[in-house]
Structure 1
Amino acid sequence: MTKTESEIKLQGRIYDSLAAFNKTAEWPALQLAQMRQHLAEHLANDLLSSCRPDILAEAIEAARGEYLEDSTGTPEDEAYNQAVSDVVAAIGALLEGK
């Protein structure tokens, strides 16, 4: 399975957090290192897959907030609002693909 950049970063943060916990634990170092790696991989995958729909939904709402409220109907305003629509559609496609 190919990992995304977000997954790799999240896995690193989880691993670092668990490594800090190691300083307070009295477990054998090798056993703890293997457990940290397994947990970091598992949690990163689970957290990203559960958070992604919420994050994409927030991105859609933020993009929708960029529509021009007082569009003058000029080609520039129409193009701008079309670009916002395209962004919303692109994010929506990511949401559909989860």
Structure 2
Amino acid sequence: MPTYSMTLKVYSEASSPADAAAEFLAATEDADISFDIVETANAEDAHQAEILNKAIEAARGEYLEDATGTPEDEAYNQAVSDVVAAIGALLEESK
């Protein structure tokens, strides 16, 4: 009998991936199914945090280093600060 590798998303209100898998197996009890549960949420969260941190660093690189103190320069640097704060808020929400 051939073996197939597949990804299956199970939408469930179960409290854990194992419980969702058990619900799925109970619903398909006549099928010959074996599987490994891979918890990807933590990896996805870590990847998102890494991207947001890189975005913050990129935005910080946009500050004017030779700001003259003109209203335009101050407004520009304030806009950069606002972008950094907005990305930081997204980072906090993802935790």
Letter in 2 for 1:66: E
Match of 2:87 among 88, 91, 94: 91
Q: Which blocks of at least 5 consecutive residues in structure 2 are unaligned?
A: 10-35
Higher-Rg member (1/2) = 2
Q: Distance in 2 between matches of 1:67 and 1:80?
A: 8
TM-score by length of 1: 0.57
Give the C-alpha shift of residue 80 in structure 1.
0.4
TM-score by length of 2: 0.59
Q: How many residues are matched?
A: 66
Structure 1 segments, 4+ long, off by >6 Å, are none
37 and 46 in structure 1: CA distance in 2 versus 1, 3 angstrom threshold: farther
Q: Percent identity?
A: 61
- CA RMSD after TM alignment: 2.2
Q: Which has the higher helix share?
A: 1
Cα offsets for 1:8-63 (capped at 9, x unmatched): xxxxxxxxxxxxxxxxxx326xxx5xx41248x953x3432121111111111110
Higher relative contact order (CA 8 A, sep 6+): 1
